[in-house]
Amino acid sequence: MRRKDPLTAPLIIGAGPAGCAAAIVLARAAGFRVWVTSRSEDKRKRALDLGAADAFEPGARLPGRVDAVIESVGEATWQHSLRSVRPGGRVVVCGATSGMTAQTELARVFFTQVDIVGSTMGNRDELRRLLSFLVATGARPVVDSVHPLAQARVAFERLAEGAVFGKVVLRV
């Protein structure tokens, strides 16, 4: 299932959250060359360890434009995401941790024919396909930490601090 030559890089904004860590793992398993951004030097390094081809500070000039941007930060990184995608590319918005309201230079969107797509969870068929993909590639979710339910407060504090890289799991 892996490709010999990496496909054009998707850019994943914010390397630490669970969805972004998952995007790195899944994109690499599919044969894509992955670029990520993060404010944290440690999270950029961890993204590289997961298989990202390169990691940048937010807003940094990239070596080139990308086919797709996975945007989970929102307001603080929105303009960079739109500037980073190639004409005809796609920006997938799956979160807005820095704010829900972002200004958009509409001319950039229509002159470059960029698609902006919102995404949350998938349906049952998409879950089945994801599971088949995980089995075929061996890709697995990134788990930051596992906490007993009695320590849920500690887990949520880690989430609120932005100190996590991957999923925080609560167990019964």
Q: Which two tokens stand for residue 101?
A: 């309201």
For residue 7, the model assigns a pLDDT of: 56
Q: What is the mean pLDDT of the chain?
A: 91
Span 48-70, pLDDT tens digits: 999 999 999 999 999 999 999 99
Residue range 25-50: average pLDDT?
Answer: 94
- Helices assigned H by DSSP within 13-115: 18-29, 41-50, 78-84, 106-111
Span 128-146, pLDDT tens digits: 999 999 999 999 999 999 9
Report the CATH superfamily, name and number, of domain 10-141: Medium-chain alcohol dehydrogenases, catalytic domain (3.90.180.10)
Domain residue spans of the chain = 10-141, 142-172
Tell me the backbone φ, ψ of residue 76, rounded to 5 degrees. -65, -25
- The set of residues, in sequence order, having a beta carbon less than 8 Å from that of 24 and lying 6+ positions away, is 12, 15, 34, 36, 47, 50, 51, 52, 142
88: amino acid identity, one letter:
G
For residue 110, the model assigns a pLDDT of: 95
For residue 170, the model assigns a pLDDT of: 95
Contact between residue 69 and residue 29 where contact means Cβ atoms under 8 Å apart = no
Give CA–CA dist 99/114, Å, rounded.
Answer: 22
Span 157-172, pLDDT tens digits: 988 888 889 999 999 9
For residue 58, the model assigns a pLDDT of: 93
Span 68-91, pLDDT tens digits: 999 999 999 999 999 999 999 999
Give CA–CA dist 44/57, Å, rounded.
Answer: 8
